[in-house]
Amino acid sequence: MRSIYPFALGVLGVVPGVLGWGAAGHEIIATIAEIYLHPTVMPTICAILDEDAKPCHLASIATWADRVRWQMRWSAPLHYVGAVDDHPSDHCVFPGERGWKGRANMNVLGAIRNVSGILEDWVEARESKYVGNGRASVSGEGDPTAAEALKFLVHFIGDMHMPLHLTGRERGGNGVKVTFDGRATNLHSVWDNFLIAQRIRSIPYNYTRPLPSREVEAVLQDAIYDPYIRRVVWEGLAEGGRWQDELNGWLDCPATPGKNTAVKTWREVLLGATLSQLIFGSGTAEETDDDVLCPYHWAKPIHELNCELVWPKALDENLSHTEVHHHDCGSHVSPEEEVAWLDGARATPKPHEPYLELDTPEYAGVVRKEWVVERLVAMAGVRLAGTLNWLFADLPDEKVQRRPALWTAVQL
């Protein structure tokens, strides 16, 4: 098994209606990941997507899985996982004695494992095809099944880093009304959209200008969130940043002996199996994790944030339920339109709707001060880059197998 670890740091360092992060959040994660990719990876990705003739960026496919949920209804439960016994903020279990909510054996952890396996099989088939000819030429290799798996992978790794996608209580917070800056919304939307939009609006002026880093600037697209990404990279991920001491551990995976991911082979895909038949797996460490890719291990501490911060105890004292009419920012609008929508007229709750206000120093203030959302999107970006580098980096086998002694972080 090839190591996921060296390359991500080598280039820098069923709940219908649930969206994991909004459009901006998913595109931010994808863009951070692209900054970290080994130089040989994007040509292969663009060839799989058959996008050689136009600008090709990971951000362009980051929200695809949300846009197609209504056409691919089988994919809906693959965006989240929730434990039956989980009940933040009182207690958080992952998954607990009674296992997961939703459809049996279908959740975001198992889906990450399996779409990665589909892409790994594609790489092996491609290497067999080019044996003796090297891997230099990747043009004309667009493949619908591999492209679909790749788009799911980019999106699902983002979903896994949104804490409310890891708890089943009240449909991941969709079923609980709150207010944010005086506007009635729900807890899930606060984390999907409002916290990021608020940070994008308040970005310091010095991050609105290009910075002296080709690795960063080359992947930015003049999007509304570009200054936000610059700040996350320079203050969080670069040398001397706030996550410098923990960054190396973000890709660590404890070995799980006896893992059985039950991923079908690429040959079976070619023989006619559909992707919907291939994405399964219960989402426990024994079935999803190894020493390279470990979605359960990565997700567990993110899930704990639901009890530590995301689901405040005061919310149960002011609990208000609502029929969810979740806006589909991630499905139908751009990040610019999403932030503009969030900047629209405030909707003041009626007097008989005592929703808990979350834009307070005790809640949103702590999230901002501790850079909680920024850390989550940065971590998702690094792990997505690591996964894609593990799958697609074109390097001799002996270098692929080694730990990162041959790789040092670019000093930005």
The set of catalytic residues is: 21, 26, 66, 69, 79, 155, 159, 165, 188, 192
For 98, counting Cβ atoms within 10 Å of its Cβ (0-12 exposed, 13-18 middle, 19+ buried), the class is exposed
Q: What's the longest Cα–Cα distance across the chain?
A: 73
For 256, counting Cβ atoms within 10 Å of its Cβ (0-12 exposed, 13-18 middle, 19+ buried), the class is middle
Tokens of residue 280, six digits? 């399964």
| Beta pairing, strands 177-180 & 183-186 | antiparallel
Determine if the peptide bond prior to 89 is cis (ω within 30°). yes
Q: Give which of 345, 326, 356, 338 is closest to 198, Cα–Cα.
A: 338
Tokens of residue 55, six digits? 């600008």
**Residues whose CB falls within 8 Å of the CB of residue 130, separated by 6 or more in sequence, listed in order:** 137
Phi, psi (deg, nearest 5) at residue 177 = -80, 140
HSE value, Cβ hemisphere, 13 Å, CA-based, for 191: 30
Please calculate the CA angle 8-230-299 and round it to the nearest 5 degrees.
45
Start-to-end C-alpha separation, the chain = 31
